[in-house]
Amino acid sequence: MKNLMITGGAGFIGANFVHLMMAKYPDYNFIIYDKLTYAGNLDNLKDVMDLPNFVFVQGDICDADQVAETIEEHQIDTIVNFAAETHVDRSILDPDAFVRTSVNGTWVLLEAAKKYQLERYHQISTDEVYGDIPEPKSSVEGDALEPRSPYAASKASADLMVQAYHTTFGLPTTISRGSNNIGPYQYPEKVIPLFTTNAMDGKPLPVYGDGKQKREYQFVGDHCEAIDFVLHKGNIGEIYNIGTGVEVENMRMVEILIETLGVSKDLIQHVTDRAGHDRRYSLNISKIKSLGWKPRHDPEDAIRQTVEWYRDNEWWWRKVRNDEFDAYYERQYGERLKN
């Protein structure tokens, strides 16, 4: 492993992963391949982009020619695929880009990995592929995939294609399925950056339904360290869940956010629920722990630290909450907030 192509590396988790890996492996080369959709942002990479072993290529993972050129030019031996459309609410409004990128795009990358006989193809997946998990169960890697949103279905489809390329062609693949990530550089459509930036501007916090849904909020840096464990210590053909093993109810998350910012609880507004909203995700993380990894952050501290990052980095999020963001916000929340 020497020349890594990090697809989707200008997004939230991808950029955090690039930071971690460039600090840890200064002798590797990092080729960031990203389409720069609304969620891609070169500000996320500003601290590393002048390093000599960093290259940025603007490209779509669905573009087989450009993917092949990039692999040849930079003698890529490893692909880590973060590229995806990632927001459940947008997948309900407009599913097509989700299918294109996660289904077609993942297949394009797998074909290229096969043709160029790469050392490793790693797919970044999500706990959402398992679907809604009733108490007290936790998902293990061999469980059936029962995705319920177009986003989750597009990610589950990608996982199945990765597994098929491993089984049929012997492609050296691994998959990791992470729980909800939080931390610096997350686009403010996701709940914690959305609520923090809304609260800072005195806007309402639109809690879907009763707010009793549970998520395993994990600090993005912990997730990225675990992906590094899978790359360097994981077994080929295997899938690894990555989470905390601790669930936090959304209303508790909002309470911590409000306390951290010192704003009024009156900002909370319960609004019409998301269609098909999964009540609970829960991961069994024994397998990734057996590689020697464990999360460094307590989930409640991770929420506090994340809120503080947005509080202290208005320069980053004010640019991102632009006209395009406002148009999305109106479409997603306009009617909900009136009712």
Site for ligand NAD, rule CB under 6 A: 7-8, 10-14, 34-37, 39-40, 60-62, 82-86, 101, 105, 124, 126, 155, 178, 180-181, 187
Which residues make Cβ contacts (< 8 Å) with residue 201, sequence separation at least 6?
none
φ, ψ for residue 133, nearest 5 deg: -110, 115
| Nearest distance, CB of residue 181 and ligand TYD, angstroms | 9
The first and second tokens of residue 244, run together, are 């905390």
The piece of 46-54, 57-65, 117-125, 186-194 that touches ligand TYD (CB under 6 A) is 186-194
- For residue 151, indicate whether it is catalytic: yes
| 239: β partners | 175
Q: What is the DSSP letter of 297?
A: S
Applying CB under 6 A, the span of 52-60, 169-177, 208-216, 314-322 interacting with ligand TYD comes to: 208-216
- Ranges of beta strands (E only) in 104-192 are 120-126, 173-178, 181-182
Task: Restricting to residues 79-138, name those near ligand TYD by CB under 6 A.
Answer: 88
β-pair partners for 125: 177
Cis peptide before 150 (omega within 30 of 0): no
For residue 221, how far is the Cα from the chain centroid? 12
Distance between CA 34 and CA 264 in Å, rounded? 39
Could you say which of 33, 130, 151, 310 is catalytic? 151
Whether 128 is catalytic: yes
Active-site option among 34, 77, 85, 127? 127
7 binds, among ligand NAD, ligand TYD, none (CB under 5 to 8 A by kind): ligand NAD
Residue 44 or 179: which CB sits closer to ligand TYD? 179
As measured in angstroms, the least distance from the Cβ of 309 to ligand TYD is 16
- Beta-bridge mates of residue 6: 32, 80
206 binding ligand TYD? (CB under 6 A): yes
- Report d(CA 142, CA 239) in Å as an integer: 8
Residues annotated as catalytic (active site), given as ranges: 127-128, 151
Q: Which residues bind ligand TYD (CB under 6 A)?
A: 88, 180, 190-191, 194, 206-208, 213, 215, 250
